[in-house]
Chain A
Amino acid sequence: MKRKTINEKLDDKVRLSKGVVIDTNILIRALIDENPELTKIISNTDEVHIPLPIFFETIFVLEKFYKQSRKMIIDYIFTIISYDNVLTDKSSLKEILYMYERKPKLSVADCFLITYAKINNLKIKTLDKALKKDLIA
């Protein structure tokens, strides 16, 4: 009997489990591969969890290494979260992305901080000049 590869074993687990949590490399490789793992996972799994830090990491990598525009990144993430079985804090993420599009001087982490402060009615304490400037404006 042919031994299964690690990926095949993982695929079996995906088929058996109702939920998975996705790593950053799956989100990046979906933009590189012709037959991406992400599409298979979303089509075959009931619950595809993507925690917010994974989206932030994806954004950093797409900006820094792949030099992608904010528009492309936002389009991509909006597309991922449009699938009903993709589970994350969609409402906060949308707020963060709207701000990320509007404020090119702020990083996605800054946008997250502002959104978090707004939702929880908190003041922001930071040493970041760009962020401070934005908070005053």
Chain B
Amino acid sequence: MEYATLTKQNQITVPIKVRDKLKLKPSDRLVFYESGETIKVSKLKSLDDFKGLLKDSKIKLNKQMIESAWTERHIINEKKNN
């Protein structure tokens, strides 16, 4: 756990350990998000960080697959509830 103090301008200095952990550099953007009663902070990724993430997947995406994802959800729900 690290600490920081809020200034009158609502700014904080990100503690060095957090900066190192998140590999932050000037002009990086941060994302604050709710997690239960607390707020988590992480470095905002860019779309480039996700580029080719699934490139090794053998799955060839098509319209039927997309539609079947909806249908399957309904079928699973029906099975669970009967």
Could you tell me which A residues sit within 8 Å of B by CB distance? 24-25, 28-34, 36, 38-39, 42, 57, 60-61, 63-66, 68, 72, 75-76, 78-80, 82, 94, 98, 101-102, 107, 109, 127-130
User: How many residue pairs between the two chains, A and B, have CB atoms under 8 Å in the bound complex?
Assistant: 88
Residue of A79, A98, A107, A130 with highest tally of chain B CB at under 10 A: A79
Given the contacts A38-B47, A42-B47, A80-B47, A31 and B54 also touching, CB distance less than 8 Å: yes
By beta carbon, the residue of chain B nearest A39 is B47
Do A65 and B73 touch (CB < 8 A)? no
The B contact surface, by secondary structure, is mixed
> Which chain B residues lie closer than 8 Å to A29 at the CB level?
61
Q: How large is the interface on B (under 10, 10 to 19, 20 to 34, 35 or more residues)?
A: 20 to 34
Do A60 and B54 touch (CB < 8 A)? no
Cα–Cα, bound, A129→B81 (Å): 6
Min distance, Cβ A61 to any Cβ of chain B, angstroms: 5
Min distance, Cβ B55 to any Cβ of chain A, angstroms: 5
